């Protein structure tokens, strides 16, 4: 088993999602872990060169186009190599952080992680498990104002990943102790 850990909280010292992802990783008890810390090493936004390059068949790309897609190719390779993906996703303004959105933009590529068919889009990243640690001050997971978990579930499903478990610490501003205790219990249940 191999794990891809993605941290997206800008808070690198007292982050609830980072604490939860630590606990999730410990519960999974795997030593083959790739860490992608999007706060410590931010990803670039997609550019015109990138957008053009992704539409050019691989064998026809020039050196500049290959260079533009190099990081995207690396991120997709990390995703493909992982059996389990653990994502720390704080809720910023009702959605995922820009750092996590940049990762999604770089891995969601036609012909690589999904393809278009006569029956519609088909995800190409299959057989993966995702565990998402969500934290928010007061945006309840699954509520009308939760665009973060619904978006993440949708985009993961779009690329073929439908086995998604959400660990929610989603009422930190109301009762942090109870919220964290509930999230920790959900992490503990992963091992059961």
**Which structure tokens are listed for 189?**
């249940």
Mark the ranges of the chain whose per-residue pLDDT is less than 70: none
All structural domains of the chain with their residue ranges? 3-190
For β-strands 3-7 and 84-90, DSSP reports them as parallel
Q: If DSSP codes are grouped into helix, strand and coil, which group holds residue 126?
A: coil
Task: Indicate the burial class of 80 (C-beta count within 10 angstroms; 0-12, 13-18, 19 or more).
Answer: middle
DSSP 8-state class, residue 45: P
pLDDT of residue 134: 97
Residue that is written with structure tokens 């690589």 in the block = 112
Query: How far apart, in whole angstroms, are the C-alpha atoms of residue 17 and residue 129?
Result: 18
In the sheet that holds 163-169, the strands lie side by side as: 33-37, 3-7, 84-90, 129-135, 163-169
- H/E stretch holding 129: strand 129-135
Which CATH homologous superfamily contains domain 3-190? Flavodoxin domain (3.40.50.360)
pLDDT of residue 191: 83
pLDDT of residue 186: 97
Q: Report the binding-site residues.
A: 9
- H/E stretch holding 120: strand 120-123
pLDDT of residue 66: 96
pLDDT of residue 29: 77
pLDDT of residue 65: 96
DSSP string, 64-79: HHHHHHHHHHHHHHHH
- Other C-beta atoms lying within 10 Å of the C-beta of residue 64: 10
**Which structure tokens are listed for 130?**
């995702």
pLDDT one-digit tens code per residue, 45-55: 999 999 999 99
* pTM, to two decimals: 0.96
Q: Which of 164, 40, 45 is nearest to 98 (CA)?
A: 45
Q: Report the binding-site residues for FMN.
A: 9
């Amino acid at each position: 088993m191999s794990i891809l850990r993605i941290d997206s909280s800008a808070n690198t010292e007292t982050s609830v999602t980072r604490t939860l992802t630590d606990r999730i990783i410990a519960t999974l008890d795997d030593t083959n872990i790739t860490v992608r810390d999007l706060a410590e090493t931010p990803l670039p936004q997609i550019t015109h060169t990138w957008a053009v390059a992704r539409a050019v068949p691989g064998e026809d790309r020039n050196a500049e186009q290959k260079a533009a897609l190099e990081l995207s190719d690396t991120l997709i390779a990390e995703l493909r190599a992982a059996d389990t993906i653990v994502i720390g996703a704080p809720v910023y303004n009702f959605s995922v952080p820009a750092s996590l959105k940049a990762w999604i933009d770089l891995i969601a590529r036609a012909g690589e992680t999904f393809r278009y068919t006569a029956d519609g889009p088909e995800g190409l990243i299959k057989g993966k498990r995702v565990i998402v640690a969500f934290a928010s001050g007061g945006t309840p997971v699954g509520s009308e104002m939760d665009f973060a978990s619904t978006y993440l579930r949708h985009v993961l499903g779009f690329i073929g990943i439908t086995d998604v478990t959400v660990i929610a610490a989603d009422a930190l501003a109301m009762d942090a102790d109870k919220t964290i205790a509930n999230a920790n219990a959900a992490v503990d249940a992963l091992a059961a």
